[in-house]
Amino acid sequence: MSTASHTSPTYVEVVVPLALPKTLTYKWFDDGSEPVVGARVVVALGRKKWTAIVWESHQRSPEGYVAKEVEAVVDESPIMTVAQRDLFAWMASHYMCTLGEMIGAALPAGMKLESTTQIVVHPDADQVSEAGLSDTALLLLDALHVREAMTLRECADLLDVRHPQRIIKTLIQRGLVLTKEELQEHTQPKPIAWLKVADGVTESALSEALAWAGVRAAAMERLLLTVVEHGELPKIQAQKRSRTDAATVKKWVERGILQLEDREPAQPSAPGAASLPSLSDAQTKAYNDVHSSLVARTPVLLQGVTGSGKTEIYTHLIAEALSAGNQVLFLVPEIALTTQLIARLRRFFGDVVQVYHSRFSSRERTNTWMQVMAPKQGQLIVGARSAVLLPLPKLGLIVVDE
């Protein structure tokens, strides 16, 4: 007499990027597969399909209702680390929002497809090769060229599949399509205001302006000295360095001494392999002190005036972390301050430098997210506040600049 073994069904708790008070329970497939915690799945909620994150798997049957089954799997491996999920849960509690809202804020738009999301052809698609695409993907791409925009549901009907998310994911990663939300983001980045000495201002006029400000307006003097010292620099950086504000800038502009100029954000310079800067005796001592504290996993404050050589010290610390195959998170206070910094770091570290900030399109942020989730070598990630939300499984060093 044989006895059939009974296996309890598997359930998953998922987080949908909505303001819901708790996770939602769905039944996993009865095909012997195991859910991957931290990966994306497609679930039905109301009359829509949503991309959700698997938060937990278990075998506890929900009480009082029959759980719907997960519709489809988007990822075969996690897109979030355990540390990230812990961080997001803590942030949701600390800032009194729901976990779904936290996930919605953290993930780039291209990673949060829903059934009403509209897919469009990427404006630069004609510059991307279609080689290696499946017949199904090519069919969808041809249809999008004709119809301009299609919802996920329309894509599914066209392809005669229940869940087109994987096909769309491939096209997004190739740079051939994007969501309509991403298309709106795909506009040129906003210009950055640069501050410089106004055209036609003579040295004698500058001297007179400095002499006047030195007697009557210390803040105006600091600002003008900063601009003269650097030649030209982003307005926000000039204000920060001189400890002044926009009103001080306006006074000099109205007097015709300084001039504002809008410029497009410069692209990072080409990767290079410049030698690391040599350290002076004082810098070497500071480097050794900082290094000892980091080995003991103790945070360190490296304090010094502008131009005192802090950059050279943390450049050597970054190089050491990268050589060990680790990731380095470099946090800067403002986007406008990153252009020159990135160019300098790329001269030393080349293409291991990754940039993550809100001026980039959702596709670029999605690509960076996936690359830092599965690093093949050491990586230096430069970004502002949102960069702390990235998955960093091999984080070895964090540098917070001012």
Q: How do residues 318-343 score in pLDDT, each as one tens digit?
A: 999 999 999 999 998 876 556 677 77
Q: Quick one: average pLDDT of 64-71?
A: 91
The pLDDT of residue 269 is: 45
Mean pLDDT across 158-165 = 84
Q: What is the 3-state secondary structure (H, E, C) of the chain?
A: CCCCCCCCCCEEEEECCCCCCCCEEEECCCCCCCCCCCCEEEEEECCEEEEEEEEEEECCCCCCCCCCECCEECCCCCCCCHHHHHHHHHHHHHCCCCHHHHHHHHCCHHHCCECCCEEEECCCHHHCCCCCCCHHHHHHHHHHHHHCEEEHHHHHHHHCCCCCHHHHHHHHHHCCEEEHHHHHHCCCCCCEEEEEECCCCCHHHHHHHHHHHHHHCHHHHHHHHHHHHHCEEEHHHHHHHHCCCHHHHHHHHHCCCEEEEEECCCCCCCCCCCCCCCCCHHHHHHHHHHHHHHHCCCCCCCCCCCCCCHHHHHHHHHHHHHHCCCEEEEECCCHHHHHHHHHHHHHHHHHHEEEECCCCCHHHHHHHHHHHHCCCCCEEEEECHHHHHCCCCCEEEEEECC
Contact 21, 100 (CB under 8 A): no
Domain residue spans in the chain? Answer: 11-107, 113-185, 192-263, 281-400
**From 3.40.120.10, 3.40.50.300, 3.30.420.10, 3.40.190.10, which CATH number describes the 281-400 domain?**
3.40.50.300
Question: Which pLDDT belongs to residue 26?
Answer: 96
Q: Does domain 11-107 have CATH number 3.40.1440.60?
A: yes
pLDDT surpassing 60 at residue 188: no
**Whole-number pLDDT of residue 204:** 84
With a cut of 80, say whether residue 233 has pLDDT above it.
yes
> Is the pLDDT confidence value at 49 over 80?
yes
What is the average per-residue pLDDT within 103-117?
A: 81
Domains 11-107 and 281-400 equal at CATH topology level: no
pLDDT of residue 117: 77
Rg, the chain, Cα only: 26
Per-residue model confidence as pLDDT tens digits over 288-318: 999 999 989 999 998 887 777 888 898 999 9
First-to-last CA distance in the chain? Answer: 75
pLDDT digits (tens, 9 = 90+) for 237-291: 888 888 898 889 999 999 999 999 887 665 444 445 578 888 999 999 999 999 9
pLDDT at 273: 59
pLDDT value at position 190? 58
- The more confidently predicted of residues 356 and 359 is 356
Q: Which fold has domain 113-185?
A: Arc Repressor Mutant, subunit A (1.10.10)
Percent of the chain scoring above 70 in pLDDT: 91
**For residue 324, what pLDDT is reported?**
92
Provide the whole-model pTM.
0.64
| pLDDT classification of 178: cutoffs 50, 70, 90 | confident
Residue 4: the pLDDT is 45
| pLDDT(129) > 70 | yes
